[in-house]
Amino acid sequence: MFALNPDVVDTGTPPIPAARAWMTRYDGAHGAPIDLSQAAPGSAPPQPLLDRLAAAAGRPDTARYGPILGDDALRSRYAAEVSTLYGGRIAADDIAITAGCNLAFLAAVLSVARAGDAVLLPSPWYFNHQMTLNMLGIEARPLACDAASGFVPDPAAAEALIDARTRAIVLVTPNNPTGAIYPEGVIARFAALARARGIALVIDETYRDFLGTGANRAHGLFTDPAWRDTVIQLYSFSKAYAVPGHRVGAITAGPAALGQILKVLDSFQICPARTAQGALAWAIEGLSDWRAATRATINARIQAFQAVLQACPGWTISSIGAYFAYVRHPFGDERAERVAEALATGRGVLGLPGSYFGPAQEGHLRFAFANADEAAIATLPARLKELRL
């Protein structure tokens, strides 16, 4: 037998399919199963977007290779949106379109770090970030966050973790898995820290379209004319436009990083898939009202989930926002995986154990409720209260 890459072998198996296998053992006794495991949009794309996707798929030009960094129309429209949203001056040349935000993360990391280097990753972390770093031989150095701080990372704690091998700090806001939304001042302090130490600040804003009511932007980093020396921003079109299967993400970065990112993207994707790019270039403005309504729906589900959990003794929301609730279970020192498995097999509710998101998370489960309507959420109290291990 040939040898396998030990860095890949040592990387955990994708957790969501493994967790979903538990649901095959649920007998339906407590109602229809509720899958709260994956951050999936709860509705289909609107018909005008579907029509444009179908038309684009039938055009010969979209079957050809496109530019490595993405089609000009989408890069320009997205740059204009970022400029308006953040109050900065972003050019199309600052944008790369990628096959989803996971690839955006890989390309960003490879542009600044190599095997043996270290990247600070807030913990609990998005498991695909940790998996990617592990496979690349880059240390995912935990930056511990906890319920007492609202799962917001501390810049002073991060500074204490930086050494000669550290190449970047990663932030995710709104956060996956906790739903925490980092205050603008905290993000600014992280940017100042990264600039002072000569490392990158990689900020993943996949869920930025689902900030709380009244919030429009997560930070003011792009108002600094020197942002390109420090900041690499990541984004996903999947959630805001309900098109995760089309795999479209974006990177906003300066020319030094983007020149290296281009090499990574040429090697991994040649060019981003083209069918969705033209449709999304239209959708940025054409679906603004629909996006606002979707945001309102998600915020209503946040409120519904909060109200429901108040009727579940022992179950406590530690943090909630965007698509996610990070919930402390009532079973003391019991392993989170055992609690999640029992909830799935016995009550038909699938959440993910906190242990999937890094060390010291056994007390929590993550529930991703974006694809569950309020009627389904309303059935949770009976299921959670009756759970016995």
**Residue-wise pLDDT tens digits, 113-132:** 999 999 999 999 999 999 99
**How would you classify the pairing of strands 249-252 and 95-98?**
antiparallel
* Residue 76 token pair: 């320009």
Residue 211 has pLDDT above 90, yes or no: no
- Does 256 fall in a domain? yes
**Residue-wise pLDDT tens digits, 276-286:** 999 999 999 99
Distance (Å, whole) CA 172 – CA 102: 13
Domain boundary among 252, 286, 320: 286
Residues 258 and 110 in one domain: yes
SS3 350: strand
Average pLDDT over every residue of 89-98: 97
Burial of 194 per CB tally in 10 Å (0-12, 13-18, 19+): buried
Distance (Å, whole) CA 96 – CA 75: 7
Question: In the chain, pLDDT over 90 holds for what percent of residues?
Answer: 91
Residue 354 has pLDDT above 90, yes or no: yes
- Does 116 fall in a domain? yes
Distance (Å, whole) CA 23 – CA 163: 44
Residues 96 and 32 in one domain: no
Distance (Å, whole) CA 369 – CA 371: 6
- Does 244 fall in a domain? yes
Residues 264 and 176 in one domain: yes
pTM: 0.95
Residues 140 and 165 in one domain: yes
Residues 317 and 191 in one domain: no
Whole-Å CA distances, 318 to 16, 91, 150, 252, 365: 22, 39, 7, 31, 10
Distance (Å, whole) CA 272 – CA 96: 9
- The answer to whether residues 95 and 251 touch, using CB atoms and an 8 Å cutoff, is yes
CATH number, domain containing residue 176: 3.40.640.10
CATH number, domain containing residue 334: 3.90.1150.10
Average pLDDT over every residue of 349-353: 96
Which range (18-27, 106-115, 176-185, 210-219) has the least confidence? 210-219
**How would you classify the pairing of strands 166-172 and 139-144?**
unpaired
Q: What is the mean pLDDT of the chain?
A: 95
Domain boundary among 258, 286, 314: 286
Count of domains in the chain?
2
Order of all β-strands in the sheet with 324-328: 316-321, 324-328, 364-368, 352-353
Residues 229 and 309 in one domain: no
Q: What is the pLDDT of residue 168?
A: 98
**Residue-wise pLDDT tens digits, 168-181:** 999 999 999 999 99
Average pLDDT over every residue of 4-26: 93
- The answer to whether residues 34 and 376 touch, using CB atoms and an 8 Å cutoff, is yes
Which range (78-87, 207-216, 281-290, 361-370) has the least confidence? 207-216
Average pLDDT over every residue of 80-95: 96
Amino acid at 331: F
By residue range, what is the domain housing residue 30? 6-44+289-386
Amino acid at 272: P
- Does 271 fall in a domain? yes
Average pLDDT over every residue of 232-247: 95
- Does 1 fall in a domain? no
Order of all β-strands in the sheet with 249-252: 95-98, 249-252, 231-236, 200-204, 166-172, 118-123, 139-144
Residue 213 has pLDDT above 80, yes or no: no
Is residue 214 very low, low, confident or very high in pLDDT (cuts 50, 70, 90)? low
Whole-Å CA distances, 225 to 90, 108, 170, 206: 10, 21, 21, 23
Q: Which residues contact 249 (CB under 8 A, 6 or more apart)?
A: 97, 98, 99, 100, 101, 102, 103, 104, 234, 235, 236, 237, 238
Residues 135 and 240 in one domain: yes
Q: Which residues contact 63 (CB under 8 A, 6 or more apart)?
A: 274
Residues 131 and 184 in one domain: yes
- Give strand pairing partners of 204: 172, 234
Q: What is the pLDDT of residue 215?
A: 67
